[in-house]
Amino acid sequence: MIRSKPAAASCLALLLAACAGPQIEKPAPLPAPPAGWSTGTGISAEAPRLDWWTELGEPELDRLVELALRNNADLRAASANLKAARALVREARAAKLPVGSVDASVSRSRTAGASLQLDTVGGPEVLPSQTLIDGGVSLNWELDLAGRLAATADAAVARGEQEAWVRRGVEASVAASVVRAWADLAESDERLVLLAERRSLLADIAARLGQARNIGGIRQDDLVEAERALGALDGERLALELARRNALRRLATLTGTPAPDGVRNFANLKTRALPAPQFVRAGNPERILRLRPDVAAAEQELLQALARIKIAQADLYPRLSLFGSAGVSAVPGRLTDEGALRFGIGPMLSWGLFDMDRIRARIRAEGASAEAAGARWEASFMKALEETDAALDLFDAARRTAAMARDDLALATRLAELAGTRHRAGQDSYLKAAMRRDARLVAANQTLRAETAALSAWIDVQTALGAGWRN
C-alpha cells in the first residue's frame, strides 16, 4: 500500500497535466456607446418603427414592399439558409439523447473448410452452406460530463440566430431598395412633367424670338441661345426616361418579376413624390444598434466562436458512454431457441490521452478565432455608430436644403405671378413674364430634387438604424 502512493500521485499528476488546457484570452467588451447623436435637430427620442415606410402614407408603396418581401429571390435564399440552420439546431440538441438503431439481416454463407484446423483426420473438405438470420437493437448514450454536447448545441443555436439576423438584414435591404426605386420613379415622373411644361414654354419663347429676328428686332445669338436651351431640355428628357426605366427594372427584380415583363407590368404605375418626414425616430444609440442586423449577426458569430472553444476544451477530458444491445442470431426456425439470444450492456470510456498536443493546438486556434470574432463584433458596432451618426447629420442637412428650396420656389412663384399681372396690364413684355415663369419651373425642378434628396437621406437613416425587418 505504501509503494502505491507514489504511483497514484504520478497518475493524478499525469491526469491533471493532460486536462490543463492553454489559457484563452476573453474577447474585449464593446466600447461604451455614446449617450446621444452628434446632431440633435430632426431627431425624435422614440424608437424607430420596423415598418418605417408606412410613415410615408402611400398604400401603393406598401403593396409593392409586401410583394417584394413575398417574392424576392435573395430573401427566399436567406429564408432557406435559416431553415437549414434551425434544422441543425434540432440535430445538435438530439445528440444529447440516446442514439441507436434497429438492424436485421439475412445471409447465405459457407466457410471454407481448408481454412480450418480440424481435430480429426478425414474431416470434410467442404463445409455445409447455411442461412443465418440476425436482428436486434442497439443504444448508445453519451453522458455529457465535460459539456461538449451542450456547447455543440449552443454553437448551433448561435448559428441559427446568426442566419436569422442575416435574413433580417436582407429583408431590411429589400424593403429599403423598393422605397428607393419608388422615390426615383416618382422623381423621374414629376420632373418629366415639369420638363414638358418648361419645354413648351421655351419653344414658345424661341418661336417669338424667331419672329422678332426676322424683322430685325433681336440679334441672332439671342435666338441661338433659346434653341440651345431647348436642345439641353431634350437631352435631360432622355436621361430622365432612362432613369425611369431603370427604376422600373429595379422594382421588377425586387418583386420577383423578370425585367422585360416587369417594366411593361409597372409601366403604368401611378406614383407621386413623397416628402420626407421632418423628424426621424432615432432613440438611444446603444438600444437601437444592438438590433441592427449586421451587429447582431456579428455578436452571434462571437457566441459561436466561444462555444467552439468549449467543444475543443471538452476533448481534454474522457468521454463516458452507456451502451446496450440485444438481439437474436440463428438459422431459420431456431430464432426462438434460448441459444439464439445475444445481449450486451455496460459503460464505455474513451480518452484521447495521447492526442493532447493536437487538442491544445485546436483550443488555441479556436481562441484566436474567438478573438477575431470579438474584433469583428466591435468593428461592426463602431461602423454602425459612424454610419448612423453620419446619416442623421446628412438628413438634417438635406431637410434644411429642402426647406430653403421650398422658400426659393415660393419666391419664384410670387415673382412669376407679379410678372404675369404686369404683362396683362401692359407694363411688362411677354418675354420678361415668360422668363419669370421659366425661373419658377427651374425652382420647382430644384425643389423636387431637394425633396427627393431629403427622402433618400431619411431612407439612409432607416437603413443605418437597421430597421425594415420583421420577426
Predicted local confidence at residue 362, as pLDDT: 93
Pairwise pLDDT comparison (10 vs 304), residue with the higher score: 304
DSSP per-residue codes, 310-347? HHHHHTTS-EEEEEEEEEEEESTT-TTSGGGEEEEEEE
Instruction: Categorize the per-residue pLDDT at 48 as very low, low, confident or very high, splitting at 50, 70 and 90.
Output: confident
What are the beta bridge partners of residue 350?
Answer: 319
Average pLDDT over residues 408-421: 94
**% the chain with pLDDT above 70:** 87
What's the CATH number where 189 sits?
A: 1.20.1600.10
Q: Tell me: the pLDDT tens digits for 443-462?
A: 999 999 999 999 999 999 99
CA distance 240 to 192: 7
Q: In what order do the strands lie in the sheet with 130-143?
A: 99-109, 130-143, 319-330, 341-350
Domain annotation covers residue 237:
yes
Residue 369 located in a structural domain: yes
| Residue 149 belongs to a domain | yes
125-139, 150-164, 211-225, 271-285: range with lowest mean pLDDT: 211-225
Q: Place 216 in a pLDDT band, splitting at 50, 70 and 90.
A: low
Domain assignment present for 151: yes
3-state secondary structure of 451: helix
Is 14 among the domain residues? no
Residues 285-311 have a mean pLDDT of 90
Domain range for 459 is: 35-98+145-316+362-465
Lowest mean pLDDT among 3-12, 40-49, 357-366, 427-436: 3-12
Q: What angle do CA 241, 244, 250 make, to 5 degrees?
A: 145
Q: What pLDDT does 395 receive?
A: 92
Q: What is the mean pLDDT of residues 65-94?
A: 91
Burial tier of 40 (Cβ tally within 10 Å: 0-12, 13-18, 19+)? exposed
Work out whether strand 43-44 and strand 341-350 pair parallel, antiparallel, or are unpaired: unpaired
Give the DSSP H/E element, type plus range, for residue 62. Answer: helix 59-71
Among 187, 412, 221, 391, residue whose Cα is nearest residue 289: 391
The secondary structure of the chain in percent helix, strand, coil, rounded to multiples of 5, reads: 65, 10, 25
Q: Tell me the pLDDT of the chain averaged across its residues.
A: 85
pLDDT value of position 10: 47
Strand 99-109 to strand 43-44: parallel, antiparallel, or no bridges (unpaired)? unpaired
The pTM score is 0.82
Identity of the highest mean pLDDT range in 44-58, 94-108, 295-309: 295-309
pLDDT computed for residue 204 by the predictor: 84
Question: pLDDT tens across 221-277, in order?
Answer: 666 777 788 888 888 999 999 999 999 999 988 988 876 776 777 777 888 888 888
Q: Please compute the mean of the pLDDT values over residues 402-429 and round it to a whole number.
A: 91
Would you say residue 187 lies in a domain? yes
208 in any annotated domain: yes
Q: What is the DSSP string of 78-102?
A: HHHHHHHHHHHHHHHHHTTS-EEEE
- Cβ-based neighbour number of residue 9 at 10 Å: 10
Neighbours of 421 (CB within 10 A): 12
User: How many C-beta neighbours within 10 Å does residue 411 have?
Assistant: 13
* 89-132 pLDDT tens trace: 998 988 888 888 999 999 888 777 666 555 555 556 666 788 88
Domain count, the chain: 1
Q: What is the largest CA-CA distance in the chain?
A: 142
Q: Which of 136, 92, 94, 146 is nearest to 345 (CA)?
A: 136
Phi-psi region of 333 (alpha: psi -120 to 50; beta: other; left: phi over 0): left
Phi, psi of 98 (to 5 degrees): -60, 140
219 is written with which cell numbers? 440679334
Contact yes or no for 272/447 (Cβ under 8 A): no
Q: How many CA atoms lie within 13 A of 460 on its CB side?
A: 18
Which pLDDT belongs to residue 449?
94
Give the CA distances from residue 440 to residues 100, 194, 218, 412, 435, in Å, rounded to whole numbers and listed in that order: 82, 10, 25, 5, 9
User: How far out from the chain centre does Cα 274 lie?
Assistant: 27
Residue type, 384: A
Identify whether 432 is part of a domain: yes
Rounded distance, CA 462 to CA 455, Å?
Answer: 11
Q: Would you state the pLDDT for residue 218?
A: 60
